[in-house]
Amino acid sequence: MKNIKITLVILVIFNLKALAQGITIGSSTTFTGGSAIITCTGNWNNSGTFTAGSSTIIFNGASGNQTITNSSGETFNNLTINKAANDLQLSNNTIVNGTLTVTSGDLDLNGYTCVLGSSATLSETAGNTVKGTSGVIKTTRTLNAPSSENVAGLGAIITSSANLGSTIIERGHEAQSSGGNDGIERYYSFAPTTNTGLNATLIFSYDDSELNSITESTLGLYSSDDEGSTWSSMGGTLNTTTNQIELAGIDAFDIWTAGGSGAPLPVELVSFIAFTQLNIVELNWQTATEVNNYGFEIERTSTPLNPRTEGGAEEWETLGFVDGHGNSNLTNDYSYTDISTPLSNQLSYRLKQIDTDGSFEYSEIVEVEIDIPIEYKLSQNYPNPFNPSTTIKYSIPVVETLRATSLHVTLKVYDILGKEVATLVNESRSAGNYKVEFDASKLTSGTYFYRLVSDNFSQTKKILLLK
């Protein structure tokens, strides 16, 4: 006789009350949804255990808000909101592993997080969406060269030939603000494993209910790389029929929202950096969507910065002024070159951005180190011996009495009899470190000398050409 194994599965459900107002699962109760379709006209209260299985929970109360409450968080398979009026409101974090469908009424996040599982998707209809002035709906997906992928149905459609790797995408509905202006009531936050060189295209979807009193025809995309503190206007192609804004050529993803050109999210200063070459400092800065920008005063100090003093050092010198663009929705680049010869190797710069009404604010401070020699120096050429070329380095110091004046410098090469065979430098040079190449391909092998002469300084060194 064959052995027969019998498995007896006993499902014990107790203290489960299906009420006209909703569903309550008691503290010691296990409720298994199986493959059932369960309709709830009131609130969902779970202080026990709910095992979703492949079930579908439908919230369809005729009026008033319905709530989902479980102090430890709730997990559903399919969750449907199909209410004649008002919202389904979260009272705790919630996970959906199947399909979250919003057919009629809204899902109010109410400050909580709704997580869409690895294969879950969101389905919304026009005017019936996930919403909430706080809280997010999010998912984590692996995106390898996505092509027009509407990730989890969240409405952020991504195309890129790059492998973004594991990517967290969050959608929130708090209007982002900057410069006294607000965006629409939707934003996306992206956190890909690889977030550079993406050359991506983003289609940003929105609902008419999220416009936040902004004229739809003025919408464009804005991005922030500092957690929403400042925003850059990115533009994009708007389609008011499909409620989408498309932008290509995106190098990296951060936080994105939409705003109107009539009520922009201005960033008076996107970046401010400094470059040095010898004793010359080049300042570069960039703005986006300027509002009433009269221009910038450029200020410099060589006083050590005092972190306890607002704005840094006390002694700031105004170097010049650069006109602004007034009102602009375009990205604008600015530059200023400081060609003076400071007596300090440590310099700090800031911008004083002035509005047309005379109000102003200061930028962040950038610090630079100027490699200015304090004495003349003529280095030994390298290589030595050489064939047929070699490099000669020399330094011209700051001369306090000639602070604003360049010094005339000559660097010449002589043969062993004192005859000049080459002039390498014969011009005015400001303080700094220099190098020059000496090509001796037309000279014969032998010993030569090179001499640096400037102001009251003169120095000679010997070189050896071996062919």
Q: Residue 390: which CATH number? A: 2.60.40.1930
Tell me what pLDDT residue 341 has: 55
219, 248, 263: which is the final residue of a domain?
Answer: 263
HEC readout, 185-201: CCEEEEEECCCCCCCEE
Q: Which domain CATH number covers 313?
A: 2.60.40.10
The verdict on residue 151 lying in a domain is no
My answer on whether 349 and 225 are in the same domain is no
The verdict on residue 116 lying in a domain is yes
CA distance 124 to 128: 6
Tell me what pLDDT residue 304 has: 57
The 10s digit of each residue's pLDDT in 223-241 is 988 888 888 778 889 999 9
Tokens for 63, please give them.
């009026």
My answer on whether 164 and 242 are in the same domain is yes
In this predicted structure, the answer to whether residue 8 has a pLDDT above a threshold of 80 is: no
Confidence of residue 312 (pLDDT cuts 50, 70, 90): very low
| Of 7-21, 156-170, 382-396, highest mean pLDDT | 156-170
My answer on whether 15 and 92 are in the same domain is yes
The verdict on residue 231 lying in a domain is yes
The total of structural domains in the chain comes to: 4
Tell me what pLDDT residue 396 has: 84
The verdict on residue 180 lying in a domain is no
My answer on whether 306 and 332 are in the same domain is yes
CB 210 within 8 A of CB 184: yes
CB 338 within 8 A of CB 281: yes
My answer on whether 427 and 457 are in the same domain is yes
List of residues 6+ apart from 80 with CB closer than 8 A: 56, 57, 58, 59, 101, 103
233, 263, 293: which is the final residue of a domain?
Answer: 263
In this predicted structure, the answer to whether residue 293 has a pLDDT above a threshold of 70 is: yes
- Percentages helix, strand, coil for the chain (3-state, rounded to 5) are 5, 55, 40
CA distance 433 to 431: 7
CA distance 216 to 209: 11
My answer on whether 47 and 169 are in the same domain is no
The 10s digit of each residue's pLDDT in 63-81 is 889 999 998 899 999 999 9
263, 292, 319: which is the final residue of a domain?
Answer: 263
My answer on whether 128 and 255 are in the same domain is no
Tell me what pLDDT residue 430 has: 75
The verdict on residue 149 lying in a domain is no
My answer on whether 206 and 278 are in the same domain is no
CB 200 within 8 A of CB 158: yes
User: Whole domain around residue 305: which residue ranges?
Assistant: 267-369
Q: Please give the radius of gyration of the chain, using alpha carbons only, rounded to the nearest integer.
A: 35
CA distance 208 to 219: 12
Q: What is the DSSP letter of 386?
A: B
Query: What is the pTM (predicted TM-score) of this model?
Result: 0.57
List of residues 6+ apart from 310 with CB closer than 8 A: none
| Residue 9 or residue 284, greater confidence | 284
My answer on whether 45 and 169 are in the same domain is no
Tell me what pLDDT residue 306 has: 45
- The arithmetic mean of pLDDT across residues 302-324, rounded, is 67
Q: What is the DSSP letter of 291?
A: S
The verdict on residue 436 lying in a domain is yes
My answer on whether 277 and 357 are in the same domain is yes
My answer on whether 234 and 290 are in the same domain is no
- Smallest Cα–Cα separation from 54: which of 91, 19, 96? 96
In this predicted structure, the answer to whether residue 172 has a pLDDT above a threshold of 90 is: yes
CA distance 22 to 45: 8
The verdict on residue 54 lying in a domain is yes
CA angle 400, 402, 408 (to 5 degrees): 130
My answer on whether 127 and 79 are in the same domain is yes
The verdict on residue 77 lying in a domain is yes
